[in-house]
Structure 1
Amino acid sequence: MSAAPFAPAHSPFAESPAVREAAALARTGERLDRAAAETLYYGASLHTLAALAHAMRLRLHPEPVVTYVGDRNINYSNVCVCACRFCAFFRAPGDPEGYVISREDMAQKIDETLRLGGTQILLQGGHHPDLPLEWYEDLLRWLRERWPGLHIHAFSPPEIFFWSRRFGLPVPEVLRRLKDAGLHSVPGGGAEILSTEVRARVSPNKCTAEEWLMVMEEAHKLGMKTTATMMFGHEEEPRHRLDHLFAVRELQDRSHGFTAFIPWTFQPAHTRIDCPTLPAPAYLRLLAVSRLVLDNVPNIQSSWVTMGPQVAQLALFYGANDFGSLMIEENVVAAAGVSYHLTRREIHKIIRAAGFTPVQRLMDYTPVQPQPEENA
């Protein structure tokens, strides 16, 4: 990754006329074009970005509330043919450490999630070459029938595109079949950086940026809500991160299907990409610019799973209005050597210490009945 072109001023008073002009646009709520976004991302002080992003967050969400969802990330399989260089979780087909979860194990995980006040499961796995589409449909029907109140937030655009190619079906048909079987919404996983140039280096066997966006647009056409993500700080350049933000904004203008945007920094341990982990200021800078650029995406999530609770709390003043997930289980980031865990009580304490009221929500941001803090 080339050096970031950042030269932020040490004081707001020292910022250039271009930065002050771009900041004035953001302060009045005008939509930022690419030039203004570049000016702020590359040149504004971190304090200026925080002030602008937090002000926009308060315009969109003036209530003193920070939301989070009670869910569990269940990785149904780690078998994958993609062999992405940034992934420490996958196992190649035939690897003795490869697995496909049993219904019994999944049932135990779901029952525990519900006991802990969860309302949702996030299902994701690798690109398994041997599981037929019917396996996924049967799984969804079983989940829907056994736990009718459970929200199924599952699979990702790369998985869905892989099945489209694997089974010779159009993407809309794959999505329709999954929705009919019980899929409620699609998570934004597998986005990494929405630049085909970058993806060709770090994940050459996965769908392109254009294909990722196409899957999401087709899901939105079917009335499904989705999220968008960004994993940054590997082999992209800062301009690619802005490409990503503007691609998400452009699609959202057309389809209005993204409920939230979630960026996090790449965790390099045990992967095949050798680079330093980006520091907290780089994460906060990108988060703030995300809030300013994505004026049509209602929610920005902080990422305590990768950044830790203190930085995630600070992110609540850099544009984030959501604390992500209770995340009863997480395996992919943990495989890269990062393992944070927070109980519901701890999440509430962190949010309250920042001056906000914690509110548990559903995927569509509808509040749910408050859960006892001692449950999780």
Structure 2
Amino acid sequence: MSTRDSSEILQRAADGGRISPEEALFLYTEAPFHALGEAADTVRRRRYPEGIVTYLIDRNINYTNVCVTACKFCAFYRAPKHKEGWSHDTDEILRRCAEAVELGATQVMLQGGHHPDYGVEYYESLFRAVSENFPQLVIHSIGPSEILHMAKVSGVSLEEAVRRIHAAGLASIAGAGAEMLPARPRTAIAPLKESGERWLEVMGIAHKLGVESTATMMMGTGETNAERIEHMRMVRDLQDETGGFRAFIPWTYQPENNHLKGRTQATRLEYLRLIAVARLFFDNINHLQSSWLTTGKDVGQLSLHMGVDDLGSIMLEENVISSAGAKHRSNLHDLVWMIRSAGRIPAQRNTTYEHLAVHWTPEDDPTDLRVTSHFSSITNKRKPLPVLDNA
């Protein structure tokens, strides 16, 4: 293919046409950077003509770091019976939920390791306790890997596991555990984890039972460019079938304190090009979220010119990625500034992307808030989020 070919593909995608995986790979590796970004931004403007970029206020609560999967990229887990292994009881999780509510969170993400003793019953009890005590919090939690694990521990089908945890309060499923879906890179970094096809099977079952989800991709662990595109192809094919993915969220592998030791990492340019191609490729997924937590605020802001319409959460707490070296921190004022200074209109959203507060003018910005993802630094301040009027 030539430069002329890339122009034709970019124009077709910008106009809403579908591009093939082969065309996506060509754009990813060969298309001029600025033309690629412009085409992706054209798609964003067509989908969201008001120029709104959303963010979420939530808390990521880890209930255990005990895990039997032993993924090579993970710096968070500890093997069963390891002296550094821990599990939080329900009271501690509810305490953290209470703090999140006090700070204006609308969502909680409960995630943890594959504990050998945690079956469906454990998750039913946990989700029911959170939903009964904090009905204002949407439980967007766990992932297909945890569902497969709990079903195995309890000896039930995947369908039964999903039905039971959904009935207990799970509203939607996080895209956790996707990493890289193609077999070669997945086996290399997570040999004990389920296959990519199995991960998608769980998502498909959940979607058909009315439980929507997000889809993620971790890049930078030695996968090829073609395997990155293949990952997206696998997600898009399931989305054609079920329509259950609300957003696609690529993020970059963090190199500290894990077995991979940063031998391979994705560059910022690779990430931005991937973001743009994702917006052109996923004609069937509404939202594209940038991972400023792993790439930094500057790349997060640049991504808003590459088709991104959502910056995710201000992260009241995050331990898994941070333990692998993600050092980027933000507060609500910073996130609003990132969006506004990129020429976009910030809006707080909920889990289903409904707007809760749109900051149409600078006067609407919550400039007095200082919330960081080091939650311990603010738990004693007890400062609630300001009430933001809807426009």
C-alpha RMSD of the superposition: 1.5
Q: How does 1:285-324 map to 2 (within 5 A)?
A: 285-324=273-312
2-side partners of 1:312 and 1:136: how far apart?
34
Q: 2:48 aligns with which of 58, 61, 71?
A: 61
Q: 2:201 aligns with which of 191, 194, 214?
A: 214
Structure-2 residue corresponding to 1:327? 315
Q: Is this contact kept in 2: 1:288–1:318, CA < 8 A?
A: yes
Structure-1 residue corresponding to 2:239? 252
2-side partners of 1:276 and 1:53: how far apart?
27
Post-superposition shift, 1:277?
2.8
* 1:374 pairs with 2:368: yes
Structure-1 residue corresponding to 2:35? 48
1-side partners of 2:302 and 2:187: how far apart?
34
Post-superposition shift, 1:373?
4.8
SS at match of 2:45: helix
Structure-1 residue corresponding to 2:330? 342
SS at match of 1:324: strand
Structure-2 residue corresponding to 1:279? 267
| One-letter amino acid of the structure 2 residue matched with residue 121 of structure 1 | V
2-side partners of 1:233 and 1:369: how far apart?
35
Q: 2:121 aligns with which of 109, 134, 144?
A: 134
For structure 1, the 5+ residue unaligned runs are 1-6, 8-14
Q: How does 1:1-376 map to 2 (within 5 A)?
A: 16-274=3-261, 275-369=263-357, 372-375=366-369, 376=371
2-side partners of 1:286 and 1:345: how far apart?
27
C-alpha distance after superposition, 1:27-56 (max 9, x if no partner): 322100122212211111211111111111
C-alpha distance after superposition, 1:267-300 (max 9, x if no partner): 1211111424322111101111111101110000
Q: Is this contact kept in 2: 1:22–1:39, CA < 8 A?
A: no
Q: Is this contact kept in 2: 1:344–1:374, CA < 8 A?
A: no
For structure 2, the 5+ residue unaligned runs are 359-364, 372-391
Structure-2 residue corresponding to 1:3? none
SS at match of 1:123: strand
| One-letter amino acid of the structure 2 residue matched with residue 250 of structure 1 | D
C-alpha distance after superposition, 1:224-253 (max 9, x if no partner): 110000001112111111111111111111
Post-superposition shift, 1:369?
4.4
Q: Is this contact kept in 1: 2:117–2:153, CA < 8 A?
A: no
SS at match of 1:54: helix
Post-superposition shift, 1:82?
0.5
2-side partners of 1:373 and 1:204: how far apart?
46
SS at match of 1:374: coil
2-side partners of 1:16 and 1:358: how far apart?
36
Q: Is this contact kept in 2: 1:162–1:207, CA < 8 A?
A: no
Q: Is this contact kept in 2: 1:82–1:127, CA < 8 A?
A: yes
- How many pairs align? 363
Structure-2 residue corresponding to 1:11? none
Structure 1: 4+ residue segments shifted above 3 A: 369-376
1-side partners of 2:153 and 2:186: how far apart?
20
Q: Is this contact kept in 1: 2:54–2:311, CA < 8 A?
A: yes
SS at match of 1:317: coil
2-side partners of 1:132 and 1:43: how far apart?
47
TM-score, normalising length: structure 1: 0.93
SS at match of 1:297: coil
2-side partners of 1:164 and 1:250: how far apart?
25
Q: Is this contact kept in 1: 2:222–2:264, CA < 8 A?
A: no
Q: 1:106 to 1:253 in 2, by over 3 A?
A: same
Post-superposition shift, 1:350?
1.2
Stretch deviating more after TM superposition (147-156 or 108-117) = 108-117
Q: 1:366 to 1:232 in 2, by over 3 A?
A: same
1-side partners of 2:55 and 2:357: how far apart?
13
Q: Is this contact kept in 2: 1:81–1:127, CA < 8 A?
A: yes
SS at match of 1:73: strand
TM-score, normalising length: structure 2: 0.90
Q: Is this contact kept in 1: 2:11–2:39, CA < 8 A?
A: no
Q: Is this contact kept in 2: 1:88–1:335, CA < 8 A?
A: yes
2-side partners of 1:110 and 1:27: how far apart?
42
Q: Is this contact kept in 2: 1:268–1:336, CA < 8 A?
A: yes
Post-superposition shift, 1:20?
2.3
Q: Identity percentage over the alignment? A: 43
Structure-1 residue corresponding to 2:380? none
